[in-house]
Amino acid sequence: MPPTDNQGSFLNRISIRRNQVVYEQEVEDLEQFQKHVADRLSELFHPPEDTNSSDPPETLLSIAWFRKLLDVFLCCEAEFKAVVIMGRDANNFVKSPLDRLIPEHLDRTVKALDICTAIIHGIDLLLHWKKLAQIAVDSLQKKPIGEGDVKRAKKALNTLLSSITIDDKEKSAENHHHSTKSGASSKDHTTIGNLRSLSYSFARSWSASKQIQAMSSNLTAPRGGEPTGLVVPVYLMSSVLVFVMWAMVSAIPCQERTGLGAHLQLSKQFTWAQPMIGLQEKIGEDWKKKEKKGRSGLLDETQRLENLGLSLVEFADGFSFPVEAEKAEEVAAMVAEMAEICGRMDEGLGALQMQVRELFNRIVRSRAETLDVLDHVNKVTTPVPY
């Protein structure tokens, strides 16, 4: 029996109501996603002070902080994929402006993969710096400190400091001047060259700074009246991706980072952007203040190693046996601090490197899944020729 007009009207009302419920749920999911991102970024900007925790403190730009940053990104990426890519009508992706924004986001992920590779090699370099610092620690912890111990420590520290400050774009004459000033031997330069190769796995023309610039060049905030609510979360995820890559490049040894402090512009109109902008400003100020021409970057542990290394080399230059009690106490404190930093690097860098590898693999999988969705939509919407 065919439905009457009243029955048809009733079914239409049920269908409209069902669609309204689905729409309201989708809007709520997107709002929750943005709130979760804002909360996670706020914790990065204001790390909790848990004095009872045995974990290393989350000092800004420390290894512990970067591990939390990558955790935040992985959580945001998983939620983004769930509520935007997999939980939506894929036909939205072929409508303007998503037909442009999604491919642009995917292009950023390709550039992010290059940066992840550079960061993985940069962490290898950090591990070598830690080994050099550990040699100095082991030598200077001897009691009493002998001349041979001091020479061994000085040699390791000079190699460490030379590797930290050297820049591949420097002229060979400048490198020679630096090595003469620091007392590095030809054998030290062989070591430095080996360390350089650990972090510089790309062509010499490759630039981490230019990669970041390319990722952010077309990243623009949504305008009012966009035809789909998915524009904001896509912009959000791209912004988080660029920020995470930018922050890691600022801290971990990477190839060519000139002008890095000026490569990220974020919109202030969103709540979730406020803590990200605060972090960007703080990191950017530190970058410009330090004017790092070498490769050490802004990682907290590396900065402390460099400062301690300079002080201990100064001690080694003026060493005479026996060491005065006051001076011995001062040196012991610096060595203890360096030992503590080596311990943090030993525990944290391997885990951080594994997280970067996980990030790389996650980006690859998510990109492939998104491309599969787009490919399916394109096949469905492409007219069949007759």
Given pLDDT bands bounded at 50, 70 and 90, which one contains residue 363? very high
User: Tokens in use for 184?
Assistant: 């590095």
Is the model more confident about 11 or about 334? 334
Compute the mean pLDDT over every residue in the chain, rounded to the nearest whole number.
Answer: 81
Largest Cα span, the chain: 108
Give the model's pLDDT for residue 54. 56
**pLDDT for residue 189:** 46
Band of pLDDT at residue 35, cut at 50, 70 and 90: very high
Residue type, 100: R
* Other C-beta atoms lying within 10 Å of the C-beta of residue 174: 12
Assess contact for 359 and 73: CB atoms under 8 A: yes
* Residue among 188, 31, 210, 35 nearest 115 (CA): 210
Is residue 188 predicted with pLDDT exceeding 50?
no
Summarised one tens digit per residue, pLDDT across range 45-91 is 887 665 455 555 678 999 999 999 999 999 999 999 988 887 677 78
Measured CA angle at 202 (ends 167, 103), to 5 deg: 120
So what's the pLDDT on residue 294?
54
The answer to whether the CB of 296 falls within 8 A of the CB of 307 is no
Token pair recorded at residue 87:
């939980």
Q: What is the pLDDT of residue 288?
A: 83
Question: pLDDT by residue (tens digit) across 233-272?
Answer: 999 999 999 999 999 999 999 888 888 877 678 888 888 9
Model confidence at 330: pLDDT above 80: yes
Residue with tokens 């944290």: 348
> Which pLDDT belongs to residue 323?
72
- Please compute the mean of the pLDDT values over residues 292-309 and round it to a whole number: 84
pLDDT of 90:
76
Burial class (CB in 10 A: 0-12, 13-18, 19+), 195: buried
> 195 pLDDT exceeds 90?
no
pLDDT of residue 351: 97
Q: For the ranges 43-57, 153-167, 223-237, 327-341, which has the lowest average pLDDT?
A: 43-57
Say what the pLDDT of residue 127 is: 96
| 270, 236 contact by CB (below 8 A) | yes
> What pLDDT shows up at residue 305?
95
Q: What percent of the chain has pLDDT over 90?
A: 49
